[in-house]
Structure 1
């Protein structure tokens, strides 16, 4: 792919949907799994719009359910590409609701989906870069870049082959656990 950069607005996607009784869980609130499914769809749309390729979900990071969503509320989801790597993108999603009778609005959920662009043959493909036009876009990019970096460090820190439980026994005392495990040197 040639050296192309896009403004974040070029890839943003917004969807809205009225929440129906069929979307509710046993507690009468909208099922979190249904919301996650909608979030995955909007992340796909946003990433595909940015990359102009089919995209797959590589990971879902930090899903924060902040407020319950009620049957009859209008859900509004906004998705933006916050970060791009070589073939991957972090799509930030904000979920708000509006009570269509009272007009009351609330922020219900935020999440970050890592999406990877693919060719028709299933190979990862380079994605366009970003043009960061504001302090907010710079903040979102840097926050996402730091999350990507932390994830890589966490993976290397806790690799099965290198992990030594003995190194963490003292640290475990601060948690609500019982550790009958003893080193078997």
Structure 2
């Protein structure tokens, strides 16, 4: 199913989603800088030391607090809480690069940051077969939930970016069609 492309307004609250290794965090940082918005990387809030997940009862509340700000760019999936972010967002940017590109990106990030707390404090970068499986199965397992969440929020402008080059053009020009 193709995502609906909707006319864009001025971006003030942007949710960035897509498979791991696609370049979401890098894009979110660059877009946030361009827009002058706070950048929120959800991994930093979800993961506790030792790669322990935030308690589910706190996770949605944490996101509600994070997206209560006037302007933001937030990156991360966490499909069970798409609605929390999408309700307050004006734009959702969906990364859709090929699976192989995402896997290469994820492995490259792991090699580059191995042993360092790159994504969250107390969570050293590591090889995770579970994470790589999630990326491999993203289109089958996670994409339908994403599409359903977008459909529940017709106010959203939707931008689909299929490559890092398209993402860079979007940041540079503000137009995904460049």
Please state which structure has a larger fraction of its residues in helix: 2
Larger Rg, first or second structure (1 or 2): 1
Please state which structure has a larger fraction of its residues in strand: 1
**TM category, shorter:** under 0.3
